Amino acid sequence: MRVAFYGERGAYSEQAAYELFGASAHLIPCRFLTDVFSTASGKADYGVVPIENSIEGAVTQTYDLLLNSKLQITAEHVLRISHCLIAAPGTDRSSIKRIYSHPQALAQCREYIEKLGADPVPFYDTAGSVKMLSSEKPADAAAIASERAAKLYGMDVLAKGIETDKHNYTRFFAVSSRAAKAGNKTSIVFTVKDAPASLFHALNCFAQNGVNLDYIQSRPVLGKPWRYNFYIDCEGESAKGNLKEAIARLKEETAYVKVLGTYMKARHGVV
């Protein structure tokens, strides 16, 4: 099993991939989200990408890539995220002036960074920032990433659990060119018509068919300012029962509909 994931070795996406596919999976690190989608379309069987964080919300680029990709969502996974402050061996925490990490991780640890009085520096990946510091070993810089990343790159953990809210979770999607065989949850994207109450009529398709919606997210339609694509997660299997009827009705009420995938809802609940 070949699985592409977003980030370097030690990234949270790598941990999610292992938990989804097991330790025997051959994992392929990808520097950019676009690389995960392209790799999963060719060299890999699956890709694992973050979709939403409980503190900072949607990973919007993933939604945009799902819209234009032929890949299907085949699984979801919820991972508890515990951030660490990581630096080169011997670094004094009081000397840290810069903290590198992915923008989402920096935002999740905003209060800690402000109390430390350091400047947040966006980087392409949490584990990637640790890898970079392990090579350069600056005396006044640190990174935010997982404890596993620190071990992988021979760095010191100066503080653990530095996220602003301890109920910090990230939801991941597995994507593949092969649809899942079964599922109890479906993701859909649609664009409403330019008409009064169009969003109400679209959502009413689900209400009238007794389909429960778990999530809704809007994203701009490129090239059409102030027009939006709406992404929803709902209960049910797209090809069966009430949800099948709701989607059929949705196609009549909207300008565009795409089923992104039916999959099993994540087993790991939030505590």
* Distance of alpha carbon 14 from alpha carbon 49, whole angstroms: 9
Sequence-distant (≥ 6) Cβ neighbours of residue 197 within 8 angstroms:
none
91 is catalytic: no
Task: Put the strands of the sheet holding 156-160 in their side by side order.
Answer: 119-122, 98-101, 141-145, 84-87, 156-160
Residues 164 and 54 sit within 8 Å (Cβ to Cβ): no
Beta strands 228-235; 213-220: pairing state: antiparallel
Structure tokens belonging to residue 42? 């060719």
- The catalytic residue among 172, 173, 190, 206 is 172
- The catalytic residue among 170, 191, 254, 262 is 170
Structure tokens belonging to residue 16? 């999610």
173 is catalytic: no
* Distance of alpha carbon 177 from alpha carbon 70, whole angstroms: 7
Residue 60, class by beta-carbon neighbours within 10 Å (0-12 exposed, 13-18 middle, 19+ buried)? middle
* Distance of alpha carbon 123 from alpha carbon 98, whole angstroms: 12
**Catalytic residues, which ones?**
170, 172
